[in-house]
């Protein structure tokens, strides 16, 4: 079996000014000392160029399907790459909700990102009502099969499973539920893509220094997509340390 890459990815969302990059130095230290894992900070586009010298990967949080053109207010994958990004988050639930992004659009954005040489962090996740109606796996299967193009492989794509009801709420599924869902995502990927079972699958939604260690110990969890806690350099550094420790335990 291919070695699955462990990833700690921060998502700053619409937060962060130039002065906030100063605090990132602490995170950098953790990122440098841990060669077993990859660390990514998905920043607002305004900070990407400034973050070029960071000793970790940076990423954007969305991109347009076109590489340039008359699309006021948008940013292309090429432009993100030009500003130093090597990753991009696509299909985040906030984009799906705020901008009614459909799986078909996300599919085309993924292709645009790959063309620009970016690794895609593709977000999938169910709403609270999907969860309560026990529709989680159906929703995830639909999102994966409709938004992930043929050609996805372990180098160009990372999956982030983020239950929408867990994002920013302090609530998470149980460990058993997270492991079960990640295992099922791996099965779905394995059925549709040659390297499907070896994709890195991150958990996202209220990951914090209080719960990261236990979540990262789960067999089919390969790291986390971290929103709120990634804005606090000490908290994010602790989460990176927890991920590193889990690699030692699982080896």
Binding site for ligand PGA (CB under 6 A): 11, 162, 167-168, 204-207, 225-229
Please say which residue, 114 or 236, places its beta carbon nearer to ligand PGA: 236
- Is 162 designated active site? yes
Q: How far is the CB of 230 from ligand PGA (least distance, A)?
A: 7
One-character DSSP codes across the chain: -PPPPEEEEEE--S---GGGGGGHHHHHHHHHH-TTEEEEEE--HHHHGGGTTSSSEEEES--BSSSSSS-TT--BHHHHHHTT--EEEES-HHHHHHS---HHHHHHHHHHHHHTTPEEEEEE---HHHHHTT-HHHHHHHHHHHHS-TT--TTTEEEEE--GGGTTTS----HHHHHHHHHHHHHHHHHHSTTGGGS-EEEESS--TTTHHHHHTSTT--EEEESGGGGSHHHHHHHHHHHHHHHHHH-
Residue number, nearest CB to ligand PGA: 227
| Catalytic-role residue among 30, 101, 126, 162 | 162
Please say which residue, 131 or 193, places its beta carbon nearer to ligand PGA: 131
Please say which residue, 9 or 77, places its beta carbon nearer to ligand PGA: 9
Q: How far is the CB of 207 from ligand PGA (least distance, A)?
A: 5
Please say which residue, 204 or 223, places its beta carbon nearer to ligand PGA: 204
| Catalytic-role residue among 92, 101, 107, 126 | 92
Active centre residues (catalytic): 92, 162
């Amino acid at each position: 079996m291919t070695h699955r890459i462990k990833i700690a990815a921060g998502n700053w969302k619409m937060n962060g000014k130039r002065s906030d990059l100063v605090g990132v130095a602490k995170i950098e230290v953790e990122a440098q000392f841990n060669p077993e894992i990859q660390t990514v900070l998905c920043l607002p586009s305004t900070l990407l160029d400034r973050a070029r010298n960071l000793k970790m990967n940076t990423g954007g949080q969305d991109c347009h399907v076109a590489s340039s053109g008359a699309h006021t207010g948008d940013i292309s994958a090429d432009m993100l790459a030009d500003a130093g990004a090597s990753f991009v988050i696509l299909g985040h639930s906030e984009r799906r909700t705020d901008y009614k992004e459909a799986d078909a659009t996300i599919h085309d954005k993924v292709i645009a990102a790959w063309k620009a040489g970016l690794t895609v962090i593709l977000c999938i996740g169910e709403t609270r009502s999907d969860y309560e109606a026990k529709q989680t796996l159906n929703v995830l299967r639909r999102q994966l099969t409709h938004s992930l193009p043929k050609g996805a492989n372990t180098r160009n794509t990372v999956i982030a499973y983020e239950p929408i009801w867990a994002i920013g709420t302090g609530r998470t599924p149980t460990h058993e539920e997270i492991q079960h869902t990640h295992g099922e995502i791996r099965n779905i990927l394995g059925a549709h893509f040659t390297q499907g079972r070896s994709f890195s699958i991150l958990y996202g939604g209220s990951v914090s220094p209080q719960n990261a260690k236990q979540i990262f110990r789960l067999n089919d969890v390969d790291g986390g997509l971290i929103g709120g806690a990634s804005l606090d350099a000490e908290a994010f550094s602790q989460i990176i340390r927890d991920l590193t420790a889990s690699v030692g335990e699982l080896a």
